[in-house]
Structure 1
Amino acid sequence: MRLSQLAATLLLSSIAFMPVHGLAADEADPVVATVAGVEIRASELKLAEGDLDPQFAQMPVEQRRVAALAAVIDIKTLARKAETEKLDQTEEFKTLMQFQRDRALHNAIFKASVVDPVTDADIKARYDKELAASPPEEEVSARHILLKTEEEAKAVIAELDAGKDFAELAKEKSTGPSAAQGGELGYFTKGRMVPEFEAVAFTLKAGEYAKEPVKTQFGWHVIKVEDRRETAPPEFDAISDQVRQLVMRERYGDLIKAARAEVEIDVLDPDLKTAYDTINQQK
C-alpha cells in the first residue's frame, strides 16, 4: 500500500471525532463542568468518548458520558499541575504540540476536501465504473470423487455409466474431504482449482460427468458439473461503504500529490530517502 493510501485508511477511522464548528457555543456546546475555572464543554466529552477503550462502546450512553467526563477532568487536573511545573515550556512538549497542530490541520483539510464532498452519486458512479471494468466470469458448480488409482477411478465411472448416483458414490468411495457432502465443491471460477481439474470441469455441461478420470497432485478425480452460470456482481448496498472508502483513498491521493507539488521535500537520511522513494514509486 502506498503511503498516501495508508494515511487515508488510518484517517478514515478517526475523522468522525473531529470537533464540529460553526454553531453558537453556549447553545450547541454547553459547559458541563469546570476545573480550576477552566471550562469543559460538551464537545470535549464527545472527543473524549472517541478515545475511550472499546469496551465502553457496550455501555449505556450516560455511562459513557460520565466515563468521558471523568477522563477530561483528570486530563485537565494534571494539565494544570504540569503547567505549574513548567512542563509546557520544555522543547519536547513544544515539539509535540507542533506535531499535534500539524496533524489536526491535516485532518481538517482531509475532512473538508475529501470526506465531506463525497456524495451518494459519487459512490454509485464509482460502483458502476468498477462493474464496467469487471465483466462477469463463468463459474461452475461441481462434485468430484477422489481416488488413489486410475483403475479405481475408471471403475467408478463404470458404475456411473450403469446408473449409480454420483453423490452416493462420492460418500462411499471418495478419499477427499468433501466425501461426506457427496463430493460437493460448490461454485468456482477459473483459477480457483488446480489446472488439470478445471481444464476438464469447464468443458462439461450441467449434469454431465467426465468419461475419463483426471490426474492431479491429489490423486485421480471423477468430475461432475452440476450447474454453469455467470458470476453475479455484488449488490451496491452490500459494498457501498467499501466503495466510499475507495473513493476517499483516491481523492486523498490526488490531494496529497497536488500538495506535495507545491512544497520542497528533502529527506536527508539516506536510508529513509531510499525507502520513502521506493514506496512512493509503487503503483
Structure 2
Amino acid sequence: MKKWLVGAVAASGLLLAGCSTSPEVASTVAGRVREDELYERMKNEMTQSGMTYGEQMLQQILLEDILENAYSDEVSDEDVEEYFEREAEMFGGVEEFEELLEMQGMSADDVRENLRSTLYVRRAIEDHVDITEEDIEQAYEEYQINSTVAHILVEEEELAEDIISQLNDGAEFGDLVEEHSVDYGTVPAGGEIELVPGQTVPEFESAAVELEEGEITQEPVESQFGYHVIKMVEVGEKGSLEEERDTIENLLIESYLNDPAVVQEAVSVLVQDANVQIADDELSGALQQFLVPSPEPTDGPLDPVEEGTDDTEADETDDADTEEVEETEEVDETEETEESEDSEDTSDEE
C-alpha cells in the first residue's frame, strides 16, 4: 500500500473516531473529544513506569476502594484532622498552611483525603508487620531527643559582644533576634532551631552542646556565616523505655511507611483478598504487581538427603561411592586376569 494511502486510511480513521456519540469531555474549533476516545488513548499511552495511563489510574482507584473498605471504620475524621494539623505546624499553623496550599492551586480538602489514604496504609502496615521487643529496644537505643536552641547571627564581633552584654543586663532574647539577626529564616521563630547532630556548622554545635538550659554563650561564636550568640532553650532528654515506648513504636511504623517494599507487601495482602475482577483485558495489568504471590518456602530439599547433610555433601558421598565401585571393578578385573594367566601357565606345564 502506498504511503499516501496509508495516511489517508489513518486520517479517515480519525474522522470516524470523531463521529463517536459518546459523551463529550472537551471541544475546540477543530472538533470534539469524546469519552471513548479519551478512554482508548489512556489504555494505549504508556507511562514511564511501564503501565498505561489507564492502568495507572485504575490502580489508584482500586487501591483507594480496597483500603477504604478495609479501614474506614478505624480512621475517623478526627484522626484525619489531627494529622492535618500536625502537618500544618511545620508551616506555621492551619491558616498559614491553607493559604500556602491555595497559592499552589491545591485544595485543603484534597490534602485531607490524601492524608486519610496515608492513615489507611498505616493501618495496613500495623496489621502486616510484627514489631518485636528486640526491635523496640534497639530503636530506643538509637533514639534521641534533639535540644532546642536559639541564636542571633550578626556580621560584626563587636555587635555580638554588645548583644551578650544586653542579654546579661536582662534584655529579651527574642527582641534582640528581631532587631539584629541576619539569619532571616529563623527570625519569625525567635531565632529557635532544633539542634540536630551534624546539621549545623561544627563551631556552632560545639558551643551549643556545652550550654545548660537557659544559658547564653558569653563569647561570640565565629563561623563561616558570621558571629553567633547562642541560647540553650531546652535540653533534649529521653525518658525510660516505657515512657518512650509509644513514640518508639510510632517511629518504627513511620519507617515502614517510608519503605516501598513493606508498603507493597502490606497492601498486597489486602488486594489478594479483595477478589479483584478487571473486565477490560487491556487494563488487566493494573494490579498485577500486587497479585503475584510471594514464593512459599519449601519444606526441605527436593532430594532425600539425610538431616544435617546438604546437597554438596550428598554429591560428594555419591562421588566417593562411585569411586569405590570403580576401584572394586578394577581389582576384580585384575584378579580375573591373573587367574587366567595362571591357568594358561598350568596348561603349558602339562
Which TM-score applies when normalising by structure 1? 0.43
Structure with the greater alpha carbon radius of gyration: 2
The answer to which structure has the higher strand fraction is 1
Greater relative contact order: 1 or 2 (C-alpha under 8 angstroms, separation 6 or more)? 1
Which TM-score applies when normalising by structure 2? 0.35
